[in-house]
Every structure is written in structure tokens, then in C-alpha cells.
Structure 1
Amino acid sequence: MPEYRQFPLADTAEGLTEAEIIGWRVQPGDEVAVNQIVVEVETAKAAVELPIPWAGVVTELLVEPGQTVEVGTPILTVDVDPQGTSAPQAATTPQAANNGAAPSAEAAA
């Protein structure tokens, strides 16, 4: 099952509140690796390349080049489980294995 994460515009320098998207290094459908540069932004102080903290597949670019966005604004969506290999977390709990029921006395013995 896909697991989507949104990558927010990082605070690239202390005190800056916004940055302009200069250019994307990836497009929807591209695979990305941890720490791969995905976007170049320009702040009032410098142009900065931002790495992605996860591996996965880019599903959506949320901001166009030339657009200025606030720090913390989602700018990119990545599917970090494109193969659907992660098990649902609910299924890994003991209660989920019993359809939400408490373990029986026999199971506890």
C-alpha cells in the first residue's frame, strides 16, 4: 500500500521565513534516494540545494518554479513505499490478530 510523505520547505538559514523555488531536479515518477538533491531554492541570502530525507517515488510537485513559499509549506510528495511492502501497523499488534478482542485466557497460558 502506498505511503505518501510531503516534503516541506526547510528552514535553510536562521531567521528566513520564505524562499523561491528556482528549479526542480526531479519530476513525478522519478525514484529518489535518501539525501538526493531534489530542488534548488533561493532565499534572501543564497541559492541552496535541498536533499530529500527519504527514498521513494516522486508523486507530485506542489510548487512551480518561480513561486515563493513560506518555510514549512509542503513542496513535494513522495511515495516512500511504492512497492506496497510495508505491513499495515494495525495488523502487527496482538489485538489486531484477534480482531480487536482481548487475548483469551488460553492464549495467555
Structure 2
Amino acid sequence: MSERVFLLPDLGEGLGEAEIVQWRVAVGDTVTVDQSVVEVETAKAVVDVPCPYAGRVVALHGAAGETRPVGQPLITIAPTDGGAGVGGETVGHATYREEERAGSGNVLIGYGTG
């Protein structure tokens, strides 16, 4: 499967941007589904943002102190298992979908539980 780009989600309250405070991962690191990858600050709060994909970090889009608009690339992840799971999804993506249906408890606008 190809690389997945995770976009900065809408963090709620109609906020259109967030400033990157600190990356919790680096290029080359392996991440799991729902792992916090970046700490961002909005006009209202400092928030840890979890990634919905598992794999190896290929790119970080933005540096600490940079403001990113909602919907713009935040991080790019490449699958580490190199293979597809059920229905052509990577194992991490399938796990994310399963947790999403079950209710993982981590709720972000557009990515939350059912």
C-alpha cells in the first residue's frame, strides 16, 4: 500500500488553524494507530493529536512554531508490514477502522467514535 498523508483535523469550536508546539515523533520512527504524534496549540487549548495510521514516519509537514491550517498535511506514514490486510487495507488501517466502529474513546471531529 502507498503512503498515507494525515491532515490536520478540525479540533473543534470552529478553529481554522493550530500551531505546532512539539513533534512527538521523528522521520524514520514507527508509529501505531492512535499514537500521539504532535502537540499543537489552538486559540483555546494545547492538544495532543493522535495518528489514525500505523507505519513508519516518512515526513513531518511543519516545524515547531509553525502554524498549520486545518485540512493541510500534518504527517506522512508508510506502512511497515508492506502488505495488505483484509480487503487490501494495511493491518494498521484495518485496526483503526475496527477501533473506530467499537469506539476507541479518542474523539476528534471527523475522526471520532460512532
What is the TM-score normalised by the length of structure 1? Answer: 0.73
Q: Aligned residue for 1:17? A: 16
The answer on 1:86 being equivalent to 2:77 is no
For residue 54 of structure 1, report the CA deviation from its aligned partner.
1.2
**Aligned to 2:71, what secondary structure does the other structure show?**
coil
Q: Separation in 2 of the partners of 1:75 and 1:15? A: 19
Q: Separation in 1 of the partners of 2:77 and 2:54? A: 8
Give the total of aligned pairs. Answer: 86
For residue 62 of structure 1, report the CA deviation from its aligned partner.
1.2
Q: Aligned residue for 1:58? A: 57
Letter in 2 for 1:61: L
Structure 1 unmatched runs, 5+: 90-109
Residues 16, 43 of structure 1: 8 Å contact kept: yes
Large movers: runs of 4+ above 6 Å: none
Structure exhibiting the larger radius of gyration computed from Cα positions = 1
Give the % identical residues.
Answer: 49
Q: Aligned residue for 2:30? A: 31
Q: Separation in 2 of the partners of 1:18 and 1:69? A: 6
Residues 38, 52 of structure 1: 8 Å contact kept: yes
Q: Separation in 2 of the partners of 1:26 and 1:12? A: 20
Letter in 2 for 1:36: Q
CA RMSD of aligned residues (A): 1.5
The answer on 1:69 being equivalent to 2:61 is no
Q: Separation in 2 of the partners of 1:73 and 1:34? A: 20
What is the TM-score normalised by the length of structure 2? Answer: 0.70
